[in-house]
């Protein structure tokens, strides 16, 4: 028997990643561009899968309840508003804490899992459905995060250097982080040109999105290292789980939706003021 070479395994994994991306990117763009109920259903599905993955990663015995409640929080946002969804999050986390049959620490982890699993898709939903020009905001966010990921990958491979977080994610480097910010900043400048908005504001918005997205990625890496798992599931061939793919995007969406909601002058500076 001839053992498979490491290079062939990496090539196969890269091919799977590219194939998944060819399916997922058009789907994500269509869902976000459409918005409304289509977006709510997609976000609810992703929340349910992430709830399942969280329970799987943390070995929680109440996997179905976590998945169902995470999805329900998204629908609460669609049929109500942000306050209704926040109440739904609190109630769902409280229910998980009460019905979890283990220690206090495990209950708290399970309850936080609802916030995490539902909160990331909710960030994208509220950014898209906000009182500002949500379609443009959400699509630009997605492009900026994807550019950040791409810049991090190629800069990290090309330049190497010291690791960004040696304990939690030794493969990520400072050169990759800088490359990610440069690509995100360029996306910000492109967005400024398309929207005829402040270049300085969009440049810093691109930097901020990249930093938050990278932090989201590192946060999940630390969780997976703590629980001793490589991937949260195998739902996405070549990528692992849904949480593995949307951690950075979800954190950035929460950050952007919250910032847009709290800092109204940004709507005009970024050219996202609703007409």
Task: Give, for all 275 residues of the chain, the pLDDT tens digit.
Answer: 444 455 565 667 667 777 877 888 899 999 999 999 999 999 999 999 999 999 999 988 888 899 999 999 999 999 988 889 999 999 999 999 998 888 888 899 999 999 999 999 999 999 999 989 999 999 999 999 999 999 998 998 888 888 888 888 888 899 999 999 999 999 999 999 999 999 999 999 999 999 999 999 999 999 999 998 888 888 777 678 889 888 899 999 999 999 999 998 889 999 998 76
pTM: 0.89
- CA separation for the pair 156, 161 (Å, rounded): 8
CA proximity to 142, closest of 244, 252, 272: 252
Helix boundaries (H) for the chain: 6-34, 36-57, 63-79, 82-99, 104-128, 134-159, 174-195, 199-227, 242-262, 265-269
Residue 4 is predicted with a pLDDT of 47
Residue whose entry in the numeric block shows the structure tokens 């998945």:
67
Q: How many CB atoms lie within 10 A of CB 62?
A: 19
Residue 13 is predicted with a pLDDT of 64
- CA separation for the pair 48, 71 (Å, rounded): 5
Q: Positive or negative CA dihedral for 265, 266, 270, 275?
A: negative
Whole-angstrom CA distances from 28 to 50, 57, 142, 261 are: 16, 25, 9, 23
Residue whose entry in the numeric block shows the structure tokens 């936080």:
112
The Cβ-side half-sphere exposure at 66, using a 13 Å CA radius, reads 29
- CA separation for the pair 124, 83 (Å, rounded): 16
Q: Are strands 163-165 and 169-173 parallel, antiparallel or unpaired?
A: antiparallel
Residue 32 is predicted with a pLDDT of 95
Residue whose entry in the numeric block shows the structure tokens 């061939």:
237
């Amino acid at each position: 028997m001839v053992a498979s070479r490491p290079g062939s395994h990496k090539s196969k994994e890269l091919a799977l990643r590219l194939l998944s991306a060819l399916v997922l990117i058009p789907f994500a763009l269509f869902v976000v561009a459409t918005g409304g109920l289509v977006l709510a259903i997609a976000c609810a599905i992703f929340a349910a899968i992430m709830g399942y993955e969280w329970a799987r990663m943390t070995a929680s015995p109440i996997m179905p309840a976590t998945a169902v409640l995470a999805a329900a929080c998204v629908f609460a946002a669609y049929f109500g508003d942000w306050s209704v969804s926040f109440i739904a999050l609190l109630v769902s986390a409280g229910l998980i804490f009460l019905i979890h049959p283990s220690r206090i620490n495990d209950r708290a982890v399970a309850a936080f899992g609802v916030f995490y699993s539902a909160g990331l898709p909710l960030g994208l939903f509220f950014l898209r459905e906000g009182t500002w020009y949500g379609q443009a905001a959400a699509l630009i966010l997605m492009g900026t995060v994807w550019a950040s990921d791409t810049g991090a990958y190629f800069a990290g491979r090309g330049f190497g250097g010291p690791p960004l977080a040696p304990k939690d994610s030794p493969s990520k480097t400072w050169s990759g982080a800088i490359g990610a910010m440069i690509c995100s900043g360029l996306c910000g400048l492109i967005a400024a040109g398309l929207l005829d908005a402040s270049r300085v504001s969009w440049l810093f918005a691109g930097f901020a999105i990249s930093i938050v997205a990278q932090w989201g990625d590192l946060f999940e890496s630390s969780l997976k290292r703590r629980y001793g798992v490589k991937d949260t599931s195998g739902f996405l061939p070549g990528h692992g789980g849904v949480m593995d793919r949307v951690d950075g995007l979800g954190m950035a969406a929460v950050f952007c939706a919250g910032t847009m909601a709290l800092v109204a002058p940004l709507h005009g500076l970024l050219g996202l003021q609703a007409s």
